[in-house]
Structure 1
Amino acid sequence: MVEYELLIDGDGREGEATLSVTNPATGESLGSVAKGTREQAREAIAAAARTKDEWASAAPSERTAALTTVADELEAVAGDLAYLLAEETGKPLATAEGEVGEAIAQFRFYAGVTDKVRGDTVPTPDHRFNYTKRVPYGVTAHIVPWNYPLLLGTRSIAAALATGNTLVVKPPSQAPLATMWVCELLVEATPAGVVNVVPGSGSEVGDELASNADVDAITFTGSVGVGQHVLSAAAEHITPVDVELGGKAPAIVLDDADVENAARGVVQGIFSNNGQNCVATSRLVVHESLHDELVSRILEKTERITLGPGTDPETDMGPVITDSALEEMLAYVEGATAEGATVIAGGKRPDDPALEDGHYLEPTIIDGVTNDMTVACEEIFGPVLSIITVDSTAEAIEVANDSRFALAASLWTDRLEATQLADDLDHGLVAVNSFPVSMPQSPWGGNKESGIGREGGLEGVEAFTTVNSVVVEFDEMEDPYL
């Protein structure tokens, strides 16, 4: 059993209660974390505010050393950390291992950025000198999602620390344990008060982080509804917010695409991480000339998927995070058939007795979907693929863009003008002949209702700094009232 306290101003603190964490594959208890209160969130914010000037003025080499130390320590425990992550989220062990590796890579990337946060000089008349400085916001709040807590959490945490900000982190209530492990290492590697961690409810801890006047910037990844609440709460104090919200990524397969390559990418794009992926390619937009062959290959690959606990090395797809989430997914499938679509694979709980204690949904494929159906419009956040057939490239682009979400898209084609077609897609990330992927050096974020701002890469520096402009006048001022 794993147990964690709150981490405030360098010390462990008890909460008013505890949050129990269970394995979604078995229902067994894994441990607990202290549940913080609104007042404890305020204490964490105060600690971060007290140390923000000290950390902002620390030598870049000091921040580099802290991030590098954490990366080294994570490498030493990577296997155990990945196993815990697979236990609490249900994701396959290989996916968890990849996520831990990505977190380590992000710490190393931003460790190399600390002494490269630069301003600029601005052309002016000879009697003036104008330069700019990138400076940290100060206290940053990080509300971490449960589906990729290490990948998405450390992306913002590492960038914020590298640029001289202090932190208050709210781990996800459904799966906080791996995040707490990483944050303990961060607390040990930085001065007291620089990193503070307060698990707790969104209505209490999350709301305090979003509305507190002493929080200088906020980053949130999650649903559109909660994101709207965070933006609304932050508006009272005009607090900058970087949000990554929902997705309904199209996988566009044009008539000249390599069918086998596309089938591999579509299957992995929708069923990886148990379908619980903000960039899951949940809408397959396929040219009618390739529909039958592509669907046949996708079905053949889907049938080979092994369901099971994430910690089993043989598992390809694990359970979804909660039973209530599973019930919502089943309702979406039922609604799709009511609207005239056809379930051609999955669509129900598996009948394997060995899986009856977990929140499992068979990998599901629905054909005959039109882009106005509910299953094509709303983010299901599970292993459900909707197939939409088109008769031209122009229609494919139109369908792909016809969504309130615009986080990511994939485009499968051998056309030389692939980059031109990518320009026509109104999505924050476009992958050509691949499903959408994350890299530490690459920016990440969405358009429309999928979010505001970009994290990752050097854009992560911009996300956690603001620009101050300094103008130096060399000539004496004229007396204006002579």
Structure 2
Amino acid sequence: MTRQLSQNYWPNFVAGTFRHGGAGKFGVRDPSNGNTLAEQALADAVDINHAVSEARRVYETGALTNLHPGERGAMLRKVGQFLEDNFDAVRETITLEQGKPLFEASKEVRFAVAIFDYFGSMAQSLEGRSVPGDASRFDFTVYEPFGVSAQIMPAHYPVYILSRTLAVALAAGNSCVMKTSELAPISATWLARAVESAGFPAGAVSIFCADREAGAALASHSDINHLVFVGTKEAAAAVLANAANNYLPNIVEVGGTSPTLFFEDGSIDAFLPEARLGLYLNAGQFCCAMYRVIVHESRYEEVVGRSVELAESLKVGPGIESDGEDFQPY
């Protein structure tokens, strides 16, 4: 099975328009063979300043926050519907640039669709509360958006993880400025197209690829109000250092070291299917993967031996050659 991307050059989405990058462009490679898939625009600090400025304008004018929550919710559901309508193209883009098999990319797209549907419905449920007082007082709380949410995203789920942060922020009325990974930036274009198709105000969302230097400019920008980062702990430390002077509320996810315990009376036949899923889903690139197996010493040799057999039984090859919906090895 040989498939190619639908275009050879992919621009950034900045302040409501698709445009070239101030830092030029670079080749995105197919991880299955090292060949160049397409060229991607690369943003610079000027592009980021423009994206943040427009996001600030949208927030301060109320173009997004003053909408009825039901209207924001409807637009979020339209984003999910756009991904559903372009299901095959989105999943093939994910597989070609990130490398996962088509059946895994299919699940990623469906999870993203579900995220936009869920938070589209939740947009109308973001309510404050009243607090009992005496006859002369009426106390209440009102939830307000942060403002401009800067989001620095990883490559291992180039649509789902981006959808997870984007949908939540938009449901609450935040503007979003999102930097994608240089390893898998193209898939995010489908999110940009979905946002444009759904009718969000121009400038409410910018999605672009940028290098670390430009990413640092985003994290330290004085006009952002909130920061989301998903990636390695080393990169997280650098991002948080850049953001420190602004005292930003932030959400940082750097993965885990999820342990699995195999006791003396454990069933090896029950363990192996879980190990296959826990170790090899997305080539082990997910936050709750089975990174460690702690085995009772009496079962150690057996578990190691059967685990080696499992690893040697797996088929390795270009993800695009998997049999899509009918291929279910896990």
Deviation at 1:81, TM superposition (A): 1.0
- Match of 1:46? 53
Deviation at 1:126, TM superposition (A): 3.2
2:303 and 2:26 map into 1 onto residues whose CA distance is 45
- Match of 1:5? 11
- Match of 2:255? 246
Aligned 1:138-177 pairs, distance under 5 A: 138-177=147-186
Aligned 1:82-93 pairs, distance under 5 A: 82-93=91-102
Task: Normalising by structure 1, report the TM-score.
Answer: 0.63
CA offsets 1:159-181 (integer angstroms, 9 cap, x no match): 11111111111111111111112
- Match of 1:222? 231
Ranges of 4+ aligned residues in structure 1 off by more than 4 Å = none
2:260–2:294 contact (8 Å) kept in structure 1: yes
Query: Which letter maps to 2:281?
Result: S
2:203 to 170, 193, 215: 193
2:273 and 2:304 map into 1 onto residues whose CA distance is 11
Among all aligned residue pairs of Structure 1 and Structure 2, give the percentage whose two residues are the same amino acid: 31
CA offsets 1:240-299 (integer angstroms, 9 cap, x no match): 110001322211222343332222112221111112223221211112233344334323
Relative to structure 1, the CA distance from residue 26 to residue 113 in structure 2 (aligned partners, 3 Å threshold; closer, same or farther) is same
2:114 and 2:262 map into 1 onto residues whose CA distance is 32
2:321 and 2:10 map into 1 onto residues whose CA distance is 25
Question: Greater CA deviation, 136-145 or 184-193?
Answer: 184-193
Aligned 1:72-471 pairs, distance under 5 A: 72-189=81-198, 190-204=200-214, 206-313=215-322
Which of the pair is proportionally richer in helix?
A: 2
Deviation at 1:314, TM superposition (A): 5.7
1:39 and 1:239 map into 2 onto residues whose CA distance is 22
Please list every run of 5 or more consecutive structure 1 residues that lacks an aligned counterpart in the other structure: 316-434, 436-482
1:10 and 1:263 map into 2 onto residues whose CA distance is 48
Please list every run of 5 or more consecutive structure 2 residues that lacks an aligned counterpart in the other structure: 1-6, 325-329
Deviation at 1:307, TM superposition (A): 0.5
Deviation at 1:27, TM superposition (A): 1.6
- Match of 1:60? 69
Query: Which letter maps to 1:105?
Result: A
1:147–1:276 contact (8 Å) kept in structure 2: yes
1:251–1:266 contact (8 Å) kept in structure 2: no
Aligned partner of residue 321 in structure 2, secondary structure: coil
- Match of 2:4? none
CA offsets 1:365-422 (integer angstroms, 9 cap, x no match): xxxxxxxxxxxxxxxxxxxxxxxxxxxxxxxxxxxxxxxxxxxxxxxxxxxxxxxxxx
1:187–1:196 contact (8 Å) kept in structure 2: no
Task: Normalising by structure 2, report the TM-score.
Answer: 0.91
After superposition, the CA RMSD in angstroms is 1.8
1:145–1:222 contact (8 Å) kept in structure 2: yes
2:122 and 2:212 map into 1 onto residues whose CA distance is 32
2:260–2:292 contact (8 Å) kept in structure 1: yes
Deviation at 1:197, TM superposition (A): 1.8
2:231–2:254 contact (8 Å) kept in structure 1: yes
